[in-house]
Amino acid sequence: MPFPKFEHSSSISNLIYTPQNSSYSSVLHFTLQDLRFNTSSTPKPLVIVTPTSVSHIQSVISCCRKHGLQLRIRSGGHDYEGLSYVSAVPFVVLDMINMRDIKVDVANNNAWVQAGASLGELYYKITQISRNLAFPAGVCPSVGIGGHISGGGYGPLLRKYGIAADQVIDAQLIDVNGRLMDRASMGEDVFWAIRGGGGNTFGVVIAWKVSLVSVPSTVTLFTVPRTLEQNAIKIVHRWQYVANKLPDELYILSVMGKTNASEVGSDSVKATFFGLFLGGINQLLPLMQERFPELGLVKEDCSEMGWAESILNIAGFPANTSLDNLLTRTLLKARTKSKSDYVKEAIPEDALERLWKRFYEVDDLGFMYMVPYGGRMSRVPESSVPFAHRAGYLYKIGYFATWNEDTNRASQRHINWIRKLYSRMTPYVSKNPRGAYINYRDLDIGVNNVLGQTSYAKASIWGKKYYGDNFDRLVRVKTAIDPTNFFRNEQSIPPLL
């Protein structure tokens, strides 16, 4: 097989951690990103394995099958429901943190990247070799490549280049029988399914071969906050009609949420517009004046920088931060709950006013962000990969609540708030089915029975939301490659039984 050599020599006995091992807790918690799943009552794995080779993974699969143990696969630990490291049945965690090699081929504008690498590590490797190449994925440097691509993966380049899964041109997959396969040997159906069909469903992806895309030496970022008194609601309303029709090179994210009292002297709500333009300020300003004058963008709102620096800036790092921060594997951890939606028709202004008031009800950080579509997202067919939300969608919504108080009461209060917000949005978002993004895992919308067989009918309740008409094809692929349903979790594609 034409695979690059990623192997590292290490005895598997040195890579196995049980609760009796002094390093077990630190290994478990290192990339456990959501503190909601870091409690004494949270189920813990019987064993954590941190493989360094294909043979290690093959041995783990064989052992788990033999002893009837469930296998959970973790690359970055950002699963919004903790499914990469939590299970209700006896389980083993296959932690890919030691498998994070990256090989960039500038001559052919592609790279092989192992599943345990983070987005930041890939970005850092690319920018050390070329300042005019990039990869269109997310902005949180610590997110793992393995899970990100397996659920589609998006970021501020999506209007220009689509999602991360669109750029995958080959992969290394270990199936339920321990076979190592590439695109040719797994076949086009399986290769299609793993690019957005959800992690821990079809096997263990150990590496992706991805195309790299071109970016200019200078990009422009801008941040424009607006309060109610500054016509925030009217600007958000107008954004819905403009953002998806702008040139592909311009991405403007809209965020509505509660401000920190220390920012403005008292609790308030504001809308903030974050923009990335693949070009300079002098090109951007006349474009914005012509196409979105309501925002009132001025030169002082803008900063020019390289693409890699823009990732750090969007991620919340201060200006002039060293690119070494892209290598950060853990950022600020918190307790969170997230949900998602897709919008096909602009939300009326009076509905936005009512929505605005909902953010006063949360006592910590709560917000919703709206990701503009259009551009390339409207031109790629929904069937190209299992990512179903393309043409016809104005934008995607992400709802987010985060809190610090470590009590069940606090958790329930915040979870109830985001559920109520989600319920109130029902009239204004996609329908039949109401869409959701698989990488914003949400067990509220349905679960499999991890203790036994899961019916097609039960799985389709959530599967149609994530995958639309692609769900049926994913079930057929699952039936062919994993008929006994070894690779499963609470929201993995089941075989047709």
- Percent of the chain scored above 90 by pLDDT? 88
Mean pLDDT of the chain: 94
pLDDT digits (tens, 9 = 90+) for 141-178: 999 999 999 999 999 999 999 999 999 999 999 999 99
- CA angle, 493 then 375 then 344, to 5°: 60
Encoded tokens for 422: 């989600």
The widest CA-to-CA distance across the chain, in whole angstroms, is: 65
In three-state secondary structure terms, 112 is strand
Listed in sequence order, the residues at least 6 apart from 445 whose beta carbon sits closer than 8 Å to its beta carbon are 436, 461, 462, 465
Please give the radius of gyration of the chain, using alpha carbons only, rounded to the nearest integer: 22
C-alpha 158/C-alpha 168 separation (Å) is 14
pLDDT, position 2: 47
- What's 317's DSSP letter? P
C-alpha 247/C-alpha 252 separation (Å) is 11
C-alpha 83/C-alpha 289 separation (Å) is 45
Average pLDDT estimate for 464-472: 97
| 453 pLDDT more than 60 | yes
In three-state secondary structure terms, 177 is coil
Q: Which residues are catalytic?
A: 440
pLDDT, position 454: 81
C-alpha 105/C-alpha 80 separation (Å) is 33
Average pLDDT estimate for 125-134: 97
7 falls in which pLDDT band (50, 70, 90)? low
pLDDT digits (tens, 9 = 90+) for 296-341: 999 999 999 999 999 999 999 988 899 999 999 877 788 999 999 9
State pTM to two decimals: 0.95
pLDDT, position 451: 75
From residue 333, alpha-carbon distances to 85, 211, 216, 281 in Å are: 16, 31, 33, 35
Place of tokens 């709950």: 337
225 DSSP β-pair partners: 272
pLDDT, position 364: 79
Q: Is the model more confident about 224 or about 455?
A: 224
C-alpha 427/C-alpha 203 separation (Å) is 38
- Of 73, 71, 70, 85, the closest CA to residue 32 belongs to 85
Q: Which of 256-265, 360-369, 461-470 has the highest mean pLDDT?
A: 461-470
Task: State the DSSP string of 86-101.
Answer: --SSSEEEEEGGG---
pLDDT, position 1: 41
